[in-house]
Structure 1
Amino acid sequence: MKNYVKILLAAVMFAAGMISHANAESALDKIVQSKKLRCGTMLDDPPAGFRDQNNQPDGYDVTYCKDMAKALGAEVEIVETPSPDRIPALVSNRIDVLISSTTPTASRALTVGFTQPYTNNIMVVVTRKETGITQYSDLKSKKLGSVVGATPEQLFKQELAGGWQKTGATYTGYASDAESYLALQQGKLDAIVISAGVFHALEQSGQFPEFIQAGVAPLADFGSIAVHRDDQQFLNWARVFIFQQETSGRRAEVYKKYYGDGPLPSLNSNGVSF
């Protein structure tokens, strides 16, 4: 009986130690204590993330980084993380949190922890006026491109494997959105898929007058905040942060500033949230 009690006590102490260790390792505690939040985001993806005329980070995601830092009583450090480097930057501890329009997928969730969506991008086909493309189905014989590791890349690769390659479609991956826009402008691509909000921003900028929207793509592109996979404390806090951004009306305010006066996209998929 005494041996059983000793074993039980040892197990309890081990579990308590593990919990204490987990708590001590939470980025949430470190951020609050250091009063510094390292927030990773893309700065080549307007209006979600870009550099303003003074070369300062700006955009929807950048504003969410700043809002999160304010809620934590911390100073924000915006760390530019190009699309392919988003998850590696978090895993290697170069950033504390990733707010970069990152789609939560099952494969990515093996590596990082995702909150519920904080943004929802309706995806559209963007092409040039002379291509003759009017809808998504027209892409099955065209030159397509996207950013390496981005959700549209996964969609195009699925379509190619499913039969588009046999009808002449090709795919090219690029390191950044800016490079894919330039490739489309130069005729190296026939079409890309981007969010309706991003297309609106490009249209307003006047940089690409030859670009037109050609229908909606069959792609749900929700974006979630990502933290270290095992940091449950920070993940729980980030979920509450998103909830407060929504219920306070802050999301609507930020969305209107960067995406215009269109309808505020739902953060649910067919009434299901997580």
Structure 2
Amino acid sequence: MNIVKKLAFLAVSVLAFGATSASADKLDKILSKGTIRCGVVLDFPPMGYRDAKNNPAGFDVEYCKDLAKALGVKLELKSMSFAQRLPALNAGKVDVVIGSTSDTLQRAKSAGFTMPYFVFKLQAMVKKDSGIKEFKDLKGKKITAALSTTPETEFLKNAKANGWDSSNYFSSKKESDTHLALLQGKADAIITTDTTIVELLKLPKYKDYTAGPFVPGFDDFVSIIVKRTEYGMINYMNLFIHQQVRSGRYKELNKMFYGNSPVRKLTVDGIYY
């Protein structure tokens, strides 16, 4: 074999090796490493919280556990705020986020979204004697929601559509900060999910509070997120969500965390996910 043929052979070998290496996607790397890093939000009960022993618990935490089991790998949970979800994902600090992330087109520019795995209603929580009965009663009140969340964007969108002055609105860094603002009287109402309000109202410190009006015309479908270019992961996650429903696990976790409330429908009429 002359020098030209040797060089050509080496070049083809290097290209073939490079192509093989490049074909190892995120799913392959997780399986090879034997660990998946799953991001969760732990101040959003009952989707994510810490139990009496300070251990991570909740619907999203159980989904992380189920995902690791399905993959046959170890689970590494990573706690984060709502605002940290996309930055942590794109910085490579986690492989996947199961953190009740609303499936907006704006966010889909920065992350890959699966089909929905849960759905919420957006609602205000107020004091019983606040006089706030309908959404229009929130006009001019001190309102807060967690920063960079759908409750925040949807409230502000509705406020703008109604021509309200939003100067009394303020963002809270974390979901738990909104709860504190309400208790301290810094906010007349918080905007969050209906499921969170149900959980908060079980606590004695919220005995003087109640569920207020819903944000009009919005179902908050949430997805599992991975990096936008990880198509293999997105495909796997979609099948995982299907299997959770078909196996009855989705219904089982609804019962575990939401009692006898109806199991929430994950589809939109006329659309197949």
Same fold (TM over 0.5): yes
Percent of paired sites with the same residue: 36
**How far does residue 156 in structure 1 lie from its aligned partner after superposition?**
2.2
The alignment status of 1:213 with 2:211, answered yes or no, reads yes
Instruction: Determine the C-alpha separation between the residues in 2 that align with 1:269 and 1:17.
Output: 45
- Pair 22,164 (structure 1): closer, same or farther in 2 beyond 3 Å: farther
- Pair 259,169 (structure 1): closer, same or farther in 2 beyond 3 Å: farther
Is 173-182 or 198-207 further displaced after alignment?
198-207
**How far does residue 17 in structure 1 lie from its aligned partner after superposition?**
8.7
- Deviation track 1:152-183 (CA, whole Å, cap 9, x = no partner) reads 110122233334434x7621101111110111
Instruction: Determine the C-alpha separation between the residues in 1 that align with 2:134 and 2:33.
Output: 51
Secondary structure, in 3 states, of the residue corresponding to 1:61?
helix
CA contact (8 A) 2:89 2:227 kept: yes
The alignment status of 1:23 with 2:8, answered yes or no, reads no
What stretches of structure 1 of length at least 5 have no aligned partner?
A: 1-14
Instruction: Determine the C-alpha separation between the residues in 1 that align with 2:19 and 2:236.
Output: 17
Quote the residue 2:39 is aligned against.
40
Is 62-71 or 125-134 further displaced after alignment?
125-134
CA contact (8 A) 2:151 2:193 kept: no
CA contact (8 A) 2:154 2:215 kept: no
- Pair 17,268 (structure 1): closer, same or farther in 2 beyond 3 Å: farther
Instruction: Determine the C-alpha separation between the residues in 1 that align with 2:61 and 2:252.
Output: 14
**How far does residue 23 in structure 1 lie from its aligned partner after superposition?**
2.8
What stretches of structure 2 of length at least 5 have no aligned partner?
A: 1-14
**How far does residue 122 in structure 1 lie from its aligned partner after superposition?**
2.1
Secondary structure, in 3 states, of the residue corresponding to 1:95?
coil
Instruction: Determine the C-alpha separation between the residues in 2 that align with 1:248 and 1:53.
Output: 30
- Pair 30,207 (structure 1): closer, same or farther in 2 beyond 3 Å: farther
- Pair 17,33 (structure 1): closer, same or farther in 2 beyond 3 Å: closer
Instruction: Determine the C-alpha separation between the residues in 1 that align with 2:259 and 2:204.
Output: 16
Q: Whose helix fraction is larger, Structure 1's or Structure 2's?
A: 1
Q: What letter matches 1:23 in structure 2?
A: S
**How far does residue 43 in structure 1 lie from its aligned partner after superposition?**
0.7
- Pair 182,90 (structure 1): closer, same or farther in 2 beyond 3 Å: same
**How far does residue 18 in structure 1 lie from its aligned partner after superposition?**
8.8
- Pair 18,113 (structure 1): closer, same or farther in 2 beyond 3 Å: farther
- Pair 19,189 (structure 1): closer, same or farther in 2 beyond 3 Å: farther
Instruction: Determine the C-alpha separation between the residues in 1 that align with 2:203 and 2:45.
Output: 10
Is 46-55 or 92-101 further displaced after alignment?
46-55
Quote the residue 2:157 is aligned against.
158
Q: 1:175 aligns with which of 173, 176, 181?
A: 173
Cα RMSD, aligned residues only: 2.0
Quote the residue 1:240 is aligned against.
239
Quote the residue 1:198 is aligned against.
196
Q: What letter matches 1:241 in structure 2?
A: F
Quote the residue 1:70 is aligned against.
69
Q: What letter matches 1:127 in structure 2?
A: V
CA contact (8 A) 1:41 1:62 kept: yes
**How far does residue 16 in structure 1 lie from its aligned partner after superposition?**
8.8
- Pair 143,19 (structure 1): closer, same or farther in 2 beyond 3 Å: farther
Secondary structure, in 3 states, of the residue corresponding to 1:141?
coil
Secondary structure, in 3 states, of the residue corresponding to 1:142?
coil
Instruction: Determine the C-alpha separation between the residues in 1 that align with 2:125 and 2:91.
Output: 35
Quote the residue 2:99 is aligned against.
100
Secondary structure, in 3 states, of the residue corresponding to 2:164?
helix
Give the TM-score normalised by structure 1. Answer: 0.88
Instruction: Determine the C-alpha separation between the residues in 2 that align with 1:44 and 1:157.
Output: 22
Runs of 4+ residues deviating >4 angstroms: 15-22
Secondary structure, in 3 states, of the residue corresponding to 1:130?
coil
Secondary structure, in 3 states, of the residue corresponding to 2:198?
helix
CA contact (8 A) 1:125 1:193 kept: yes
Aligned length: 259
